């Protein structure tokens, strides 16, 4: 990766002047083959990390903050409005040090542990499996359990499956009933370890493939009529050898998904501020974000060799922006702000996932509350929604809709002799015949005019929602929690079946055609 000098401008929000760019014509076509954009692409991730669970999602039943069984009511309402389709838990790196039996039964009897990965804090296991799975039921979201392989055993792993899924008569099912849950939970998605190339055990791909085969063999489904969805711990960014080995060495009868992790940042060892960043840092971050398309293309090409029938999903179960923690916060808690840069990451990444929905069947933004590219931030009783939240809510119209191919020759965003595509787009048609088009302009300076032909869809009623702001570094704070919020697009020009829209710099727009 090219080395880029870090420029940190403390206490200064840069204002980028707006210039008018070129016109772009976006063509939307009817698909030759129907591809459904799985709602699970819009999944989320909550790890026992910093203030994601404790002092974030979970405040306890005795808290003065309104809650449902200890989980903040305002966060529950926000996630329901977001139409969150699935939630991954308990990690992350934490997953491969987590022993699930420590988190069930009376809270006063649960042992403590030290969270060695994230801040060295003491974990009291007060938020455990019952709390998480009951929360998913409240949210109407599918649970995605990342289970321990790195420091566990096949027996502990399979007893977890039995505890969660068996109806009754087995030792683990009866133990679950003793803890107050009569019926099993219908948990379909199971991660067989996490980042086994790193914090999950520093394994080679060849070794992990054999370990995976062993664990997956003993996983038995007791509840779901269509079976378990077992997800192998996949590659780190462009480790194509890892994907090659898993696809080659794991029988298709034992696997339903292969994971991929990729984060967006300035430089791995020089991530820069989440608020006071320069245009150079912004450009570099967007460069890594847009690499997601290349990663998916290349990993998919490997998967196609071994799975031409497209039966195994690519699951991008960790993605998002990663910067330095906010000043004065615990370095191991990964708390950062969320600006219009993060809205750009979210919009372009979701467009990439939508356009590769034939292979990408699930993804999980990291992370839900108070960690990395969060959709919700909290401070005591206060809560705010981030620009990323608003983008994901705007985009949830694509969930389970039919992908419509888009094509265009767009302008570029130029910076110091380098260029990136300025415009990103994806489109879909839902079961009611509504067409939705999501557009992003990442250019820090120029607005761009987009001409969009909708005549072939017989659209008569056009509406739009836009997310934009004056400065790229703008963000919602607890003093101004609604500084950035979606607004109705007031100017939609239609002439001879062509819609003309002006996209301001660093903006996200979703157009609906009925």
Known catalytic membership, residue 195: yes
What is the full DSSP assignment across 261-279?
EEEE-S-TT----SSSB-H
CA angle 25, 29, 32 (to 5 degrees): 150
Residues 6+ apart with CB under 8 A from 448: 21, 22, 23, 24, 410, 411, 422, 423, 441, 502, 503
Q: Which of 139, 144, 226 is nearest to 187 (CA)?
A: 144
Q: Which residue has the tokens 């206060």?
A: 382
Q: Which residue has the tokens 């990442």?
A: 442
Q: Active site residue: 142, 162, 256, 318, which one?
A: 318
Residue 235 three-state SS: strand
Residue 343 three-state SS: helix
Q: Active site residue: 47, 123, 159, 195, which one?
A: 195
Residues paired with residue 512 on neighbouring β-strands, in sequence order: 436, 463
Structure tokens at 149: 């392989």
Element (H, E) at 230: strand 229-236
Known catalytic membership, residue 108: no
Task: Burial-class residue 440 by CB neighbours within 10 Å (0-12, 13-18, 19+).
Answer: buried
Q: Are 245 and 206 in contact (CB under 8 A)?
A: yes
Give the catalytic positions in this structure. Answer: 195, 318
């Amino acid at each position: 990766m090219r080395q880029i000098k870090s420029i940190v401008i403390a206490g200064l929000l840069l204002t980028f002047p707006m210039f008018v760019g070129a016109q772009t014509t976006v063509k939307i076509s009817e698909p030759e083959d129907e591809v459904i954009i799985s709602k699970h692409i819009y999944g989320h991730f909550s790890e026992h990390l910093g203030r994601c669970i404790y002092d974030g999602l979970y405040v306890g039943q005795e808290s003065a903050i309104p809650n449902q069984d200890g989980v903040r009511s305002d966060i529950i309402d926000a996630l329901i409005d977001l139409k969150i389709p699935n939630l991954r838990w308990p990690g992350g790196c934490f997953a491969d040090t987590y022993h699930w039996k420590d988190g069930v039964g009376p809270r006063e009897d649960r042992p403590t542990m030290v969270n060695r990965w994230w801040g060295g804090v003491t974990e009291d296991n007060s938020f455990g499996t019952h709390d998480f799975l009951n929360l998913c039921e409240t949210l109407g979201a599918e649970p995605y359990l990342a289970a321990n392989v790195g420091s566990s055993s096949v027996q502990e792993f399979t007893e977890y499956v039995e505890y969660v899924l068996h109806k009754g008569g087995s030792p683990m099912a009866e133990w679950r009933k003793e803890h107050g849950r009569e019926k099993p939970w219908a948990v379909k998605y199971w991660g067989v370890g996490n980042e086994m190339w790193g914090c999950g055990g520093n394994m080679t791909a060849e070794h992990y493939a054999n370990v995976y085969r062993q664990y997956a063999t003993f996983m038995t489904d007791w509840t779901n009529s269509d079976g378990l969805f077992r997800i192998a711990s996949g590659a780190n960014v462009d480790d194509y050898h890892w994907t090659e080995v898993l696809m080659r060495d794991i029988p298709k009868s034992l696997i339903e998904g292969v994971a991929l992790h990729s984060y967006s940042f300035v430089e791995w060892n020089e991530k820069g501020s989440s608020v006071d960043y320069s245009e150079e840092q912004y450009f570099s971050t967007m460069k890594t974000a847009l690499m997601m398309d290349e990663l998916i293309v290349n990993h998919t090409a490997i998967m196609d060799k071994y799975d031409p029938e497209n039966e195994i999903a690519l699951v991008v179960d960790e993605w998002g922006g990663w910067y330095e923690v906010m000043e004065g916060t615990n370095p191991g808690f990964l708390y950062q702000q969320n600006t219009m840069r993060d809205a750009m990451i979210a919009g372009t990444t979701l467009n990439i996932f939508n356009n590769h929905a034939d292979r990408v069947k699930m993804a999980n933004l990291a992370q839900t509350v108070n960690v990395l590219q969060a959709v919700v931030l909290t401070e005591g009783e206060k809560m705010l929604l981030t620009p990323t939240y608003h983008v994901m809510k705007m985009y949830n119209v694509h969930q389970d809709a039919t992908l419509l191919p888009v094509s265009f020759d767009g302008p570029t965003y130029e910076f110091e002799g380098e260029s990136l595509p300025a415009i990103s787009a994806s489109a879909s048609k839902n079961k009611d015949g509504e067409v939705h088009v999501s557009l992003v302009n990442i250019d820090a300076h120029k607005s761009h005019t987009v001409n969009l032909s909708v005549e072939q869809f017989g659209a008569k009623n056009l509406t739009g929602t836009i997310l934009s702001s004056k400065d790229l570094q703008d963000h919602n704070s607890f003093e101004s929690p609604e500084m950035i919020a979606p607004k109705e697009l007031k100017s939609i020009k239609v002439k001879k079946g062509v819609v003309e829209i002006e996209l301001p710099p660093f903006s996200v727009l979703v157009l609906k055609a009925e």
